């Protein structure tokens, strides 16, 4: 059984509500392609559920194209994209039809951990001869500029409330729902231009049986927990196996979180004790499978966990509970979120202590208790240890409170200043010695130079007199022979 968003997804451009100008642009673009003009690829940019993917599919259908749709932000898809686009550029589809390539969520590849993603998509765009439509919620991130440069950006606005209302009316009629126009208007307004959300809300409320203005006005905030509320309502309201198993299809939460949500909300929805007992029995079995999935890394068991959690819990009730139930965020998760910062800090401190003492963080816990009591009884020693473990003031505040932490850090800072002062004095003294040493060095050099000079001039003198002596000697010999 299909979800209503799929069941009522427009097949042709004519069925797509609103967006008239965009439809014309798209038609011209694909006709240019057919004529071989090779226009730039198109990026459809808009908020979730405004109809980007629907527009692309409807266009393909209207012009007899087959569609290849891939999620661009999924790294694992990248090789497949290149391969498919590679073949698609040279051949038609197996049915002999032209191919339109849809690359979904291109804005999902802008993360720093996936910096090559954009250039890979650019390569794909360059290679492909088939028309490509990219979709994105936000294309104005700087990392996506190269894509904007090579594509034509078409902004798809949110769907107008009146248009949404018209779609909801049509669906309500086809599903034989007993609902008045005012209630549908509340649902339409609440969706904030997200037609998918509006259809999901209508479907979820219909599962509850009764839809009226009072119930519609209690719809959970769309901006926050969007799909998990839908999933809860579908699982807890339906008594159909296949509807229940589809409930998590568009849900971005992991199974462990869904489990917490169900544990919190089963008693809110189910009234009979036997139903609650059975539902928790299935949930606990799902938990066992889930535990084994993570422990043994055996992902084949995942589907059992998922089915027990969805269909198991759904079929645990004898019959549907009619009426609206206000689901709430799991208290366990609220508590964990509230204490998250504190737990993170504690982890950091234990890691620091463990690194210095070469012990596990379990053992470091005992050391931390000891450190606390030292700080309470001997501030000086406590300060020394805190400095040694390199614990920051904010971290210390978490374990001994603000007052004690600030006293400890007063001591640490005072010591730091003293050390700095000592360091400066030492540096000054060292500089003085250095200068003195340099001066004596210079004097030494000067003296050596003087001595050298003296020796040189003495040497010259003796040489002169020696030469003179030799001359006189030679003269005497000459004179002698004469
Ligand atoms: N203009 C529309 N006319 C009729 N139905 C629409 C329209 N826009 C959206 N819908 C409905 O909402 C559903 C979701 O639309 P679609 O998948 O096209 O949204 P999207 O803009 O691609 O969202 P996302 O960014 O989350 O992928 C469709 O299956 C269809 O049922």
What's the pLDDT tens digit per position in 278-290? 999 999 999 999 9
Q: What is the pLDDT of residue 361?
A: 76
What band does 481 get if pLDDT is binned at 50, 70 and 90? low
Pick the closest to residue 110 from 102, 120, 125 (CA basis): 120
Percentage, residues of the chain above pLDDT 70: 84
Of the given ranges (172-176, 243-247, 336-340), which has the lowest mean pLDDT?
A: 336-340
Give the ligand 1 atom nearest the CA of 156.
21
**Strand duo 132-136 + 42-45: pairing:** parallel
The structure tokens 């405004």 sit at: 50
CA neighbor of 200 nearest in space, from 3, 2, 17, 1: 3
Q: Is residue 272's pLDDT more than 90?
A: yes
What is the CA(100)–ligand 1 centre distance, in A?
18
Tell me the per-residue pLDDT of 127-168, one tens digit each, with 9 for 90 and over.
777 899 999 887 877 778 888 889 999 999 988 999 999 999
* 267 marked as binding residue: no
Q: Is 55 within a domain? A: yes
C-beta pairs of 188-193 under 8 Å, 24+ apart in sequence = 188/161, 188/162, 188/164, 189/161, 190/216, 190/219, 190/222, 191/49, 191/164, 191/222, 192/158, 192/222, 192/223, 193/47, 193/49, 193/50, 193/157, 193/158, 193/159, 193/160, 193/161, 193/164
Of 65-79, 308-322, 347-361, where does mean pLDDT reach its minimum? 65-79
DSSP 328: -
50 is in an annotated binding site: yes
Does any domain span residue 130?
Answer: yes
ipTM exceeds 0.90, yes or no? yes
Element (H, E) at 406: helix 402-481
Beta bridge partners of 96: none
Task: Flag whether 26 is in a domain.
Answer: yes
pLDDT band (50, 70, 90) for residue 321: confident
- Looking at the structure of the chain, the number of domains it has is 1
Look at residue 358 and tell me whether its pLDDT is greater than 70: yes
**Does the annotation place 415 within a ligand binding site?**
no
Domain assignment of residue 93, yes or no:
yes
> What CATH number is attached to the domain comprising 31?
3.40.50.300
Testing ligand 1's pocket by substitution, the residue of 196, 246, 251 carrying the most ligand atoms inside 8 A of its CB is 196
H/E stretch holding 154 reads: strand 152-155
For the CA of 47, the nearest atom of ligand 1:
25
48 is in an annotated binding site: yes
Nearest to 205 by CA among 181, 223, 226, 178: 178
Using the 8-state DSSP alphabet, how is residue 144 labeled? G
Give the pLDDT of residue 457. Answer: 85
Residue-by-residue DSSP string for 371-401: HHHHHHH-HHHHHHHHHHHT--HHHHHHHH-
| CA quadruple 339, 340, 342, 345: dihedral, nearest 10 | 170
d(CA 199, CA 50): 12
| Residue 96, in any domain of the structure | yes
Tell whether 46 is in a known binding site.
Answer: yes
Q: What per-residue confidence (pLDDT) applies to 224?
A: 42
Tell me how far apart the alpha carbons of residues 299 and 290 are, in angstroms, rounded to a whole number: 9
Look at 480 and 249; give whichever has higher pLDDT. Answer: 249
| Mutate which of 3, 8, 53 for ligand 1 pocket (most atoms within 8 A of beta carbon) | 53
Question: How many other C-beta atoms can be found within 10 angstroms of the C-beta atom of residue 402?
Answer: 12
* Token pair listed for 425: 């004095």
Mean pLDDT of 2-19: 88
Expressed as residue numbers, the domain containing 138 is: 19-155
Does residue 250 lie in a domain region? Answer: no
For residues 142 and 148, give the distance between their C-alpha atoms in angstroms, rounded to a whole number. 10
pLDDT score recorded for residue 146: 86
- Asked if residue 12 belongs to a domain, the reply is no
Q: Per-residue confidence at 115, pLDDT binned at 50, 70, 90?
A: low
Provide the CA 188 distance to its chain's centre, in angstroms: 31
In a domain, 97, yes or no: yes
Ligand 1 is surrounded, with C-beta below 6 A, by 5-6, 8-10, 16-19, 46, 48-54, 135, 137, 159, 167, 195-196, 199
What atom of ligand 1 comes closest to residue 137's alpha carbon? 25
CA 338 from chain centre, in angstroms, equals 21
| Reported confidence tier of residue 225, pLDDT bands at 50, 70, 90 | very low
Strands 66-71 and 152-155: unpaired
At a CB cut-off of 8 Å and minimum separation 6, what does 193 contact?
47, 49, 50, 157, 158, 159, 160, 161, 164
């Amino acid at each position: 059984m299909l979800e209503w968003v799929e069941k009522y997804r427009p097949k042709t451009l004519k069925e797509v509500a609103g967006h008239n100008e965009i439809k014309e642009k798209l038609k011209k673009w694909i006709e240019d392609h057919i004529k071989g003009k090779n226009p730039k690829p198109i990026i459809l940019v808009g908020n979730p559920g405004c109809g980007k993917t629907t527009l692309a599919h409807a266009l393909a259908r209207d012009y007899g194209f087959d569609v290849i749709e891939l999620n661009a932000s999924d790294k694992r898809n990248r090789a497949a994209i290149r391969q498919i686009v590679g073949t698609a550029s040279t051949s038609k589809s197996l049915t002999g039809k032209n191919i339109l390539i849809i690359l979904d969520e291109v804005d999902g590849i802008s993360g720093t951990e996936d910096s090559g993603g954009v250039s890979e998509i650019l390569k794909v765009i360059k290679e492909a001869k088939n028309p490509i439509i990219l979709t994105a919620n936000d294309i104005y991130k700087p990392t996506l500029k190269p894509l904007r440069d090579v594509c034509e950006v078409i902004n798809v606005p949110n769907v107008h409330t009146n248009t949404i209302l018209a779609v909801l009316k049509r669906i309500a009629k086809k599903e034989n729902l007993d609902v008045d126009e005012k209630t549908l208007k509340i649902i339409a307004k609440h969706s904030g231009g997200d037609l998918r959300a509006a259809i999901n809300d209508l479907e979820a409320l219909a599962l509850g049986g009764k839809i009226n203005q009072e119930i519609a006005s209690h719809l959970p905030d769309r901006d926050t927990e969007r799909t998990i509320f839908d999933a809860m309502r579908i699982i807890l309201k339906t008594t159909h196996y296949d509807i229940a198993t589809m409930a998590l299809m568009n849900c971005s939460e992991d199974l462990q979180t869904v489990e917490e949500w169900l544990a919190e909300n089963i008693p809110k929805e189910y009234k009979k004790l036997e139903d609650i007992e059975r539902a928790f029995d299935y949930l606990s079995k799902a938990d066992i499978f889930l535990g084994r999935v993570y422990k043994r890394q055996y992902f084949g068991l995942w589907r059992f966990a998922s089915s027990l959690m969805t269909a198991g819990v759904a079929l645990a009730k004898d019959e549907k509970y009619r009426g609206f139930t206000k689901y709430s965020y799991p208290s366990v998760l609220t508590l964990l979120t509230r204490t998250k910062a504190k737990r993170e800090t504690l982890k950091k401190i234990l890691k620091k202590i463990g690194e210095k003492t070469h012990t596990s963080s379990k053992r470091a816990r005992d050391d931390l208790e000891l450190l606390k009591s030292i700080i309470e009884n001997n501030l000086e020693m406590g300060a020394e240890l805190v400095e040694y473990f390199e614990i920051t003031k904010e971290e210390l505040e978490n374990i001994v409170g603000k007052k004690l932490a600030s006293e400890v850090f007063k001591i640490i800072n005072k010591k730091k200043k003293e050390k700095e002062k000592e360091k400066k004095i030492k540096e000054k003294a060292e500089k003085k010695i250095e200068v003195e040493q340099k001066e004596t060095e210079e004097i030494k050099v000067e003296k050596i130079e003087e001595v050298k000079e003296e020796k040189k001039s003495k040497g010259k003198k003796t040489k002169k007199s020696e030469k003179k002596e030799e001359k006189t000697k030679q003269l005497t010999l000459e004179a002698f022979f004469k």
